[in-house]
Structure 1
Amino acid sequence: MIAGLTFRVGQVDETLSSRGITHLLEHLVLHGRGLTDYHYNGSTGAIATSFTTQGGEDDIVAFLDGVCAALHDPPLDRLETERSILRAEANGRSSGVNEMLPLWRYGARDYGLVSYGELGLPRLTPDDVRRWAETWFTRQNAVLWVAGNRLPEGLRLPLRNGVRRPVPAPSSALPATPAYFLGDEGAVVFDGIMRRSVTGGVLAGIVERELFRSLRQEDGNSYTASAFYDSRGDGFATVTAFADVAPGKPDAVLGGFIDVLARLKVGRIEQADLDAVRAKGEDALDGVTVAVGMLPGHALNLLTGQPVLSAEEIRTELRAVTLADVHAAFLEVYGTGLLQVPDGHSADWAGYVAAPTTSERAVDGRRFGDLVVGPEGVSLRHGERSATVVFKECAICLAFPDGGRQLIGHDSITVRIEPTLQSVPPDALRQIDAALAPVTVWLPARDPSAIPQAASPAGASSGQDKPTTGRVVGATVAFVLAVVVLCCGGVWTWVVADNSDPANDVAFDAVSGTINAVLYAAGLVLLGVGAWLLRGRSRKEVSRT
C-alpha cells in the first residue's frame, strides 16, 4: 500500500527572508521517523509539500500519525542540526536547466523564489517554525491519497483546523515580452506562460522534437535539447525549452534555437510530429500502475482547484488536439516568452527586448561615492543608470559583521554596500539597518580575502571580471604575432646594418627605414591588443542577481 499526505504550501508561499522554512519544517517532522523497515519520504516543491510512505496498513497509520503529531509539536530542539543538514544538502544540489528564468520573470517573490537558495535559514526561530506549521499544515489545506483496496484501519490524521490556502497571484518583473537576458555560455533556455490544457503537454513534445532535430541531428551543435510542461497551480502553466551549447558554438545554437521558435510562430508544425507526440502521450496512459502514479497529481489538482481528469479523459482530450490548437498555444507561450541567451550575445535582432537590469529611478539622499542613501531607500549610481532598492520593497538584506550589506528588491534588482569601497559612515549604515530589520539575515564573518578592497592606483582590476577563455586565446595569438613581427623588425635591422652599401645608398636607407618602422609599429599595436584583451570585459555595475 502507498499513501501520501499533501499540503498546499511550498516555496512560492515564503518570502526571501524566510526562504527555506517549509523545507526546514519538513525535515523536523521526518526526524522522528528514524530508521524503519518501510519506505518513506518528504518533498518540498514550489506549490506543495508532501509526506509519502509505502508499507503495510499498520506502517502507514504509524507514519501518518507521527507526521501529524510532529506538525502539532515540532521537535524544535533539532533546529540547529536540521539547519546544518539543509546547508549540506544545498551544497550537493545541482541547478535546474531553467534555474534563472523564474527570477527574471517574477522577481524575488512568489514564483521567483524558486531561483534563490534558502537564504532565510540563519534567521528562522522556533516561533517562526511553529507559526508556519499552525498556519499552513492544517486539515483544510491537505489532501490524503491512498493506493490500496481501502483506507488503513485506525487512520485518524489529527491535524489542526484551518483554511484552504490558494496559490499566490504571480508578480512580474518584465515590462514587456518576449524578452531576453544574459545567462552563462553553456545553454539557451526559453519559457512562456499559457492557459493550462492537455494541448500544452503536446506543444512541449513538439518543441522538443523540433529542437532535437535541428540542433543535434542536423547541426550537431547541441547534445541535449528538451522541453517540458509544468502547471503553475493557478489555471496557467509554463512551457520550457532548453538546449546546451557545444564548445565554441553559442552563436550557432542561439540562431538555430530562435529559428525553431520562429518556425513554430508562423505555424510550420508537421502533422507527423503531432501524431508522434500524441501517440507517446497515449502510451504513457497504458498500464496497471498509471492510476497509482496519477494520485499525487490528483491531490495537487484538488488542492489548487484544478480539474481532476482520469486517464481515459486525458486520452480523449489528447486525440482531439489539432495543429491549429498547438499553433494557438504556441502563440500564447511566445507572446509571454523569456529567452536566456549565452553571455556576450543578444536577441534584439530577433524581436526580443532586453529584460531590465537597472531601475527606472534613483532615490535622493546623501551620496557616498556611487552609493546614495535616502530616507526611502538606497541607489547605486553608474553614470545615468542606477540600481535602486526601496526599503518597503526590499525582499532581503544580507548583512555581514564587517559592514557589508546586500539588498535585494522585490524586482530582484540588487544593491551591494561595501564600506571598504564606498566610505559609508556608521550613522548611514545604522539608518539602513533600522529600516530593514524585519528582512535582515545576519551572516557569519567573511574571510578577509572575500571583502572587496579599494582599487589600486592603476585601477587595473577594479570593476572588471576575469577575461573569458576566448579573450585569453585572442591575447595569446596577439602576443605571439607581436613577437614574430618584432623579431622580423630586428632581423631586418641586422640585415640592413650588416649588408647595406658602404656608400650609404640614401634611397635604400629610406625604404629600409620605412619597412623597419612599419614592423615595429605593428608589433607594438599587437602587444597593445593582447594587453587589452587580458584586461577582461567590463562588469555591469548595476544588475539583477
Structure 2
Amino acid sequence: MVTQVSRSNVNGVRVYQADLPGVCCGTLVFGVGKRNEPATLSGITHLLEHLLFRLMEPISVEHSAVVSDNSLTVYASGSADEVGQFFSDFTRAIGRLGEVSEQDLKFEKRIIRIEHPNNFDEPSTGLLTYRYGLHGVGLANFGAPSTMDMTRQEVTDWAARWLHAENTSLAFSQALPATLDLRLPRGPVAHTEQPEALLETPALVASAKNGVALSLLVPRDDVDLLQIALRHELFIGLRHRRGLIYDVGTFTTPVDGELSELVFVLDPEDKHIDTTVRLVSETLRRIATAGFGKAATDSARIHGSAQAQRTFAGLDYLDRLAEDGLHGWSTRSPEQGLEDATEVTSEQLTGVLVGSVASVIIAFNEGTSLSKRTLKSLALSVTHLTPWQPVDDDFPQPAASTAQSTWRAKGGKRTLIVTDTNLFSREAGRTRRILFEDIVMAGDRSCGCLTLVDSQGRSIEFQADNWKRLKSLKRRLIEILDPALVRSFPKH
C-alpha cells in the first residue's frame, strides 16, 4: 500500500501529513544538531530542549525528544487536538526562554549529568571524530563537558539562531487540527557544510574505546542492506566459528545527502583484540574477492524486506521526509526500499563493499599492542590519537628557557616548555609539541586540572599528581589561549 503524503505550510513551517489509522503521532524537526555545535558549546541543543520542556510543565501529552547529529526532533502522541496543542505550546515556549531562571538552568544541567554522566564530564570522541575532527559531522561523537558552564544568554542566542520557521518541519499522521498554530520567528534557511576528511584511509587507529570497531562510508541508499549482510558475515565468523565476541553492534549516521557512516562495534576480551582486528581485515578482503555468501545475501533480502515493510505504516517514512527535507536530501520511498531488498544479489552487495572499502577505519583499544603478524596482514601503521606531534629535525628547537616558562614532571625527567605559539614536551632526547592555534577548547576544572582539546578532537589533561607547579602552568596556558576557548569543566 502506497502511503499518500500531502505537503503544506503552516506559518512558514513545512508540513508532511498523512491520514493513518490509530493514535495521532506528530514529529517536529528542527535542523540543528550535534554537528552544528562548536566544541565550546557542545551539548547546548540538548540543554535547550530540556529548558523548553521545563517551561511547558506540566505536560499531559505523551512526548519525548532526541538530539541527533543532524536535528532536534520532538515527538508527541495522543488525539490530533492534543498533539496539535502540544506543538503550538512548544513553539511558544521558544519565545519564553527569557523566563528561565538560574535555578531552572542548574536543575536541568544536573538532570543531563544524570542522564549522560560520561558525556557531561569528559570530552569524548568516536569514529566520525577520528575521520573529520571537530568539524561538521565529526562533532556528532564529541562529549559535552562545557554544559555546566553554559549561560542562559548562550542558550537564548542559540535558539534565536536555529529555531525558526524556515529551519523547521512537521510530520503529522492525521488531519491537521485547529489547535495546531505554530508560532516561530522567520529566518534564513540553514545550510550545513560537510568538512573534508582529515584522516587518510584505510586507517588503523589506537582508541580510548574498548574492544574493536569498524567504520565505512557507504552510499545512503545501500547502507541498510550492506549493514545486514556484513554483520551476518562478522557474527558467523567471529562468534559462531571462533568464539571471540558476544555480539556485533551496528550504527549508521548520515554524513550528507549521498553518504552514511556504517559502524560495527565488536566486544572481544582484551586478550583477543589482536586476533579480532586481523580477522576483521581478512573478512573484508575475503568478501571483496569472493563475494558475499548465500546466507549473508539471504539475510539482507529477508531482514531488508522486513525493514522496508515496517515503513509502510507511514510513521517512519513521514519522519524521514520531515528531516531529509530540511537538509535538501532525497528520501527513498518504502516501495523502492522493498524492491531493492527483495531483488538484492551477492554481486550488488559485494560491489557496494568494494566501492566503500577504501574508506575503512579499524579502531582498537589503545591498551593493546598489535602483533607483527596482524600489522603485516593489514599493511597499515597505527595512528595514535594524541595532540602531541613530533618535531621534525629541521624545526627550530625551543631555546633554553627560564624557570618561569619551564615545568617538570613529578617523579620523572619530562619537561614542558611554553612559548607564545607552542607547548613543547621534552623527554629522553625526544621533543614533541602542541601548536596553540590548533586548540579549540580548554577545560578549566575546579580541582586544578586543565584539559586541552585540539581541532581533531584529541585531548590531553594536566593533573596536579603529574606536574610540579601546576597552578602556574595552568595560569600561563590560559593567558596564551583565546579567552573564548576557555570553559569550566566539571570537577573530577
The SS at the match of 2:56 is coil
Rounded to whole Å, the distance in 2 between the matches of 1:187 and 1:428 is 34
The SS at the match of 2:362 is strand
Name the Cα RMSD after superposition.
2.9
| Aligned with residue 161 of structure 2, among 123, 132, 135 | 135
Which residue number corresponds to residue 395 of structure 1? 440
Give how far 1:279 is off: 2.4
Say if 1:384 and 1:302 are closer, same or farther in 2 by CA, change over 3 A. Answer: farther
CA-to-aligned-CA distance 1:368-420 (integer Å, 9 cap, x gap):
14222222232334456655443333121011356532211102333444577
Which residue number corresponds to residue 350 of structure 2? 327
Give how far 1:226 is off: 3.9
The SS at the match of 2:231 is helix
| Aligned with residue 436 of structure 1, among 441, 461, 482 | 482
Say if 1:13 and 1:360 are closer, same or farther in 2 by CA, change over 3 A. Answer: farther
Q: Structure 1 regions of 5+ residues with no counterpart?
A: 447-545
The SS at the match of 2:278 is helix
Matched, 1:151 2:197: no
Q: Matches of residues 455-494 of structure 1 in structure 2 within 5 Å?
A: none
Give how far 1:179 is off: 1.1
Give how far 1:354 is off: 1.7
Which residue number corresponds to residue 93 of structure 2? 70
Rounded to whole Å, the distance in 1 between the matches of 2:346 and 2:299 is 13
Does the CA contact (< 8 Å) of 2:28 and 2:168 recur in 1?
Answer: yes
Does the CA contact (< 8 Å) of 1:182 and 1:345 recur in 2?
Answer: no
TM-score by length of 2: 0.81
Does the CA contact (< 8 Å) of 1:177 and 1:336 recur in 2?
Answer: yes
Which residue number corresponds to residue 276 of structure 1? 299
Rounded to whole Å, the distance in 2 between the matches of 1:185 and 1:414 is 14
Which residue number corresponds to residue 41 of structure 2? 18
The SS at the match of 2:482 is helix
Rounded to whole Å, the distance in 2 between the matches of 1:53 and 1:114 is 25
Matched, 1:105 2:105: no
Letter in 2 for 1:352: L
| Aligned with residue 187 of structure 1, among 199, 208, 211 | 211
Rounded to whole Å, the distance in 1 between the matches of 2:196 and 2:337 is 31
Which residue number corresponds to residue 389 of structure 2? 359
Give how far 1:185 is off: 8.6
Rounded to whole Å, the distance in 2 between the matches of 1:288 and 1:115 is 27
Rounded to whole Å, the distance in 2 between the matches of 1:322 and 1:94 is 45
If each structure's strand is expressed as a fraction of its own residues, which one has the higher value? 2
Matched, 1:413 2:458: yes
Rounded to whole Å, the distance in 2 between the matches of 1:387 and 1:171 is 26
Give how far 1:54 is off: 0.4
Rounded to whole Å, the distance in 1 between the matches of 2:42 and 2:390 is 27
Say if 1:320 and 1:376 are closer, same or farther in 2 by CA, change over 3 A. Answer: farther
| Aligned with residue 211 of structure 1, among 231, 234, 249 | 234
Q: Which runs of 4+ in 1 moved over 6 A?
A: 92-95
Which residue number corresponds to residue 380 of structure 1? 425
Give how far 1:204 is off: 1.1
Say if 1:85 and 1:229 are closer, same or farther in 2 by CA, change over 3 A. Answer: closer
Does the CA contact (< 8 Å) of 1:167 and 1:234 recur in 2?
Answer: no
Matched, 1:160 2:188: no
Letter in 2 for 1:127: Q
Letter in 2 for 1:107: G
Q: Structure 2 regions of 5+ residues with no counterpart?
A: 1-23, 409-414
Which range is displaced more, 60-69 or 416-425?
416-425
Does the CA contact (< 8 Å) of 2:88 and 2:179 recur in 1?
Answer: no
CA-to-aligned-CA distance 1:273-314 (integer Å, 9 cap, x gap):
223312221122225863112222221111121112221122
Give how far 1:14 is off: 0.7
Which residue number corresponds to residue 538 of structure 1? none
Rounded to whole Å, the distance in 1 between the matches of 2:288 and 2:368 is 26
CA-to-aligned-CA distance 1:23-48 (integer Å, 9 cap, x gap):
00000111133344420111111111
Matched, 1:252 2:275: yes
Say if 1:120 and 1:280 are closer, same or farther in 2 by CA, change over 3 A. Answer: same
Letter in 1 for 2:132: Y
Does the CA contact (< 8 Å) of 1:140 and 1:164 recur in 2?
Answer: yes
Which residue number corresponds to residue 368 of structure 2? 344
Does the CA contact (< 8 Å) of 1:185 and 1:250 recur in 2?
Answer: no
Give how far 1:10 is off: 0.5
Rounded to whole Å, the distance in 2 between the matches of 1:403 and 1:283 is 54
Letter in 2 for 1:399: D
Which residue number corresponds to residue 523 of structure 1? none
Rounded to whole Å, the distance in 2 between the matches of 1:25 and 1:135 is 12
Rounded to whole Å, the distance in 1 between the matches of 2:491 and 2:62 is 41
Give how far 1:82 is off: 1.0
The SS at the match of 2:74 is strand
Which residue number corresponds to residue 12 of structure 2? none
CA-to-aligned-CA distance 1:321-357 (integer Å, 9 cap, x gap):
4433322321233211111124323353212332244
Does the CA contact (< 8 Å) of 1:141 and 1:165 recur in 2?
Answer: yes
Does the CA contact (< 8 Å) of 1:30 and 1:42 recur in 2?
Answer: no
Which residue number corresponds to residue 16 of structure 2? none
Computing the radius of gyration from Cα coordinates, the structure with the larger value is 1
Which residue number corresponds to residue 170 of structure 1? 195
Say if 1:287 and 1:185 are closer, same or farther in 2 by CA, change over 3 A. Answer: closer
Say if 1:312 and 1:301 are closer, same or farther in 2 by CA, change over 3 A. Answer: same
Rounded to whole Å, the distance in 2 between the matches of 1:401 and 1:238 is 37
Does the CA contact (< 8 Å) of 1:205 and 1:228 recur in 2?
Answer: no
Give how far 1:228 is off: 4.2
Give how far 1:430 is off: 4.0
Letter in 2 for 1:162: G
Rounded to whole Å, the distance in 2 between the matches of 1:274 and 1:427 is 58
Letter in 2 for 1:5: L
Letter in 2 for 1:397: A
Q: Matches of residues 304-319 of structure 1 in structure 2 within 5 Å?
A: 304-319=327-342
Does the CA contact (< 8 Å) of 1:405 and 1:416 recur in 2?
Answer: yes
Matched, 1:87 2:113: yes
| Sequence identity (%) | 19
Rounded to whole Å, the distance in 1 between the matches of 2:73 and 2:461 is 37
Say if 1:384 and 1:330 are closer, same or farther in 2 by CA, change over 3 A. Answer: farther
Does the CA contact (< 8 Å) of 2:228 and 2:304 recur in 1?
Answer: no
The SS at the match of 1:318 is helix
Q: How many corresponding residue pairs?
A: 441
Say if 1:382 and 1:300 are closer, same or farther in 2 by CA, change over 3 A. Answer: farther
Which residue number corresponds to residue 43 of structure 1? 66
Say if 1:37 and 1:6 are closer, same or farther in 2 by CA, change over 3 A. Answer: same
Say if 1:93 and 1:137 are closer, same or farther in 2 by CA, change over 3 A. Answer: same
Does the CA contact (< 8 Å) of 2:31 and 2:162 recur in 1?
Answer: yes
The SS at the match of 2:363 is strand
Say if 1:162 and 1:382 are closer, same or farther in 2 by CA, change over 3 A. Answer: farther
Does the CA contact (< 8 Å) of 1:403 and 1:429 recur in 2?
Answer: no
The SS at the match of 1:284 is helix
Which range is displaced more, 10-19 or 313-322?
313-322
Give how far 1:268 is off: 2.8
